[in-house]
Amino acid sequence: MVILYNMTMNSTKPTVDIEWDKFSKEQLITMIKGLQHKNELLTEQISCMMQNRFGRKTESTGNIHQLSIFNEAEAEQDPSVKETEDIAQVIPSYTRKIKSKGKRDEDLSAITDTVIENHEIPEEKLKEIFKDGYKRLPDEVYRRLELIPARFRVIEHHIAVYAGKDNETIVRADRPADLFRNSIATPSLAAGIIHAKYVNAQPLYRQEQTFLENDIHISRQTMANWMIGCTENYLSLVTDKFREEILKEHLIHADETPVQVRKDGRPASSKSYMWVYRSAENDIHPAVIYEYQKTRNAEHPREFLKGFKGILVTDGYQAYHKLAKESADLQVAGCWVHARRPFANVVKALGKKAKGSIAEQAAKKISYMYHIDNQLKDLSPKDRFQRRRTEVQPMVDGFFQWLKENQSSVPAKSETGKGIAYCLNQEQYLRTFLEDPSVPLDNSTAERAIRPFTIGRKNWVMIDTVKGAASSAVLYSIVETAKANNLRIYEYIKYLLGEIPKHMDEHGLKFLEELMPWSENLPKEIRK
pLDDT (tens, 9 = 90+) of the chain, 528 residues, equals 444 444 444 444 445 566 666 777 777 777 776 666 666 666 666 656 665 655 555 444 443 333 333 333 333 334 444 444 444 444 444 344 444 444 344 445 566 678 889 999 999 999 889 988 888 889 998 777 777 777 888 999 999 988 888 777 889 898 888 899 889 999 999 999 999 999 998 889 999 999 999 899 999 999 999 999 999 999 999 999 999 999 999 999 999 988 888 777 777 678 889 999 999 988 999 999 999 999 999 999 999 999 999 999 999 889 999 999 999 999 999 999 999 999 999 888 888 888 889 999 999 999 999 999 999 999 999 999 999 999 999 999 999 999 999 999 888 888 899 999 999 999 999 999 999 999 999 999 998 888 887 777 666 555 778 888 899 999 999 999 999 999 999 999 999 999 999 998 888 889 999 999 999 999 999 998
Are 87 and 108 in contact by the 8 Å Cβ rule? The answer is yes
**Contacts of 502 by beta carbon, 8 Å cutoff, 6+ apart:** 177
Looking at the 3D structure of the chain, how many domains does it have?
2
**212 and 249 housed in the same domain:** yes
**334 and 268 housed in the same domain:** no
Are 508 and 241 in contact by the 8 Å Cβ rule? The answer is no
**217 and 307 housed in the same domain:** no
Final residue before a domain boundary, out of 444, 468, 497: 444
What is the residue type of 327?
A: S
**306 and 287 housed in the same domain:** no
Q: Is residue 227 part of a domain?
A: yes
- Alpha-carbon gap, residue 245 to 516, rounded angstroms: 10
Domain that holds residue 337: 299-444
- Alpha-carbon gap, residue 256 to 274, rounded angstroms: 6
Q: Is residue 254 part of a domain?
A: yes
Rg over alpha carbons for the chain, rounded to the nearest Å, is: 31
Q: Is residue 35 part of a domain?
A: no
Among 476, 478, 472, 484, smallest CA distance to 515 is for 478
**242 and 379 housed in the same domain:** no
pTM: 0.76
Are 193 and 223 in contact by the 8 Å Cβ rule? The answer is yes
Q: Is residue 219 part of a domain?
A: yes
**313 and 277 housed in the same domain:** no
**266 and 344 housed in the same domain:** no
- Alpha-carbon gap, residue 278 to 446, rounded angstroms: 6
- Alpha-carbon gap, residue 350 to 360, rounded angstroms: 10
- Alpha-carbon gap, residue 357 to 462, rounded angstroms: 41
Among 135, 186, 117, smallest CA distance to 157 is for 186
**163 and 282 housed in the same domain:** yes
Chain centroid offset of residue 391 CA: 32
Final residue before a domain boundary, out of 393, 418, 444: 444
Cα of first residue to Cα of last residue in the chain, in angstroms, is: 80
- Alpha-carbon gap, residue 521 to 513, rounded angstroms: 10
